[in-house]
Amino acid sequence: MSQTTLTYRLGDREVGRLGYGAMQLAGPGVFGPPADEARAIQVLRDVIAAGVNHIDTSDFYGPHVTNKLIKQALHPYPEDLCIVTKVGARRDDQANWLPAFSADELTRAVEDNLRHLGLDSMEVVNLRAMFGVHGPEDGPLEAPLEALIKLKERGLIRHIGLSNVTAKQVADAQKMTPVACVQNLYNVANRHDDKLIDSLNEQGIPFVPFFPLGGFTPLQSGELNEVAQALNATPMQVALAWLLQRSPNILLIPGTSSPQHLQENLASAQLTLPPEALAKLDAIGKA
């Protein structure tokens, strides 16, 4: 069975494990409009044409830019499309990322997402913790979770997920509400969530890694490049294939604003890494 046919449960939807992240559709620094709006629209339509049914976005991308592009390109949406957003942050006029954790801010953020996407209810809303700039840090999530639970009771949210969180925050949140997914930085070189991924897998909860090649600080890995060259693939394809083979509960959301790169990313689902390649890549995270 090819990896493109593999699916996993996300909220109430069965989604393909290779999805799409819309962050890069905004302007430089995830701020402002794209340089080429027509190309951004084309990428989104190519995503759907390729059979992808999981799109990750947020109204603080732009802000508002990616959600408006998604609506423009894809509304009315395919019945099987699962759009996931995140709240908990906002942007100021200088493009800074600031916490937005109050009940009023979270309510406004969910309502803005719904309006800009043209939806009556969000399938999944991830609460993005903002205690740490460079990664998860422990801090209380009870108050913002209570606000999201109230929005869920109103029918504006079907499922609640978490982003940029520690294992303790996940466990604490599960005492309050079911957690639909966890979205953290994770890749072949950044393996801090290995135990969390395995624990979530045992519970049937998806883990959604972002920055498969390091994001704002790209991975510099000779081993990754060597494996890619040997398999006649790109480093990104190898990084994505490694994640798909890492655990069955991993859902991928690689982002791009390029139609060509989109097709390259999607082709990674057909790439099976042999044991010797897996061993070489696994060693990167243990170095």
Catalytic residue positions? 61
CA 42: distance to chain centroid? 20
Amino acid letter, residue 227 = V
Q: Report which DSSP code applies to 102.
A: S
Six-digit token string for 84? 């996931």
CA atoms within 13 A on the CB side of 62: 21
Q: Rounded to 5 degrees, what are φ and ψ at 125?
A: -120, 120
Query: Which contacts qualify for 115-120: CB closer than 8 Å, 24 or more apart?
Result: 116/59, 116/64, 116/67, 116/68, 116/71, 117/57, 117/67, 117/70, 117/71, 117/75, 117/83, 117/85, 118/71, 118/75, 119/83, 120/155
Task: Give the CA distances from residue 29 to residues 64, 95, 99, in Å, rounded to whole numbers and listed in that order.
Answer: 14, 8, 17
Closest C-alpha to 135, from 98, 186, 170: 186
Angle in degrees, CA 56, 60, 63, rounded to 5: 115
CA atoms within 13 A on the CB side of 281: 27
- The residues with which 159 forms a beta bridge, in sequence order, are 124
- Cα separation, 173 vs 282, in Å, equals 31
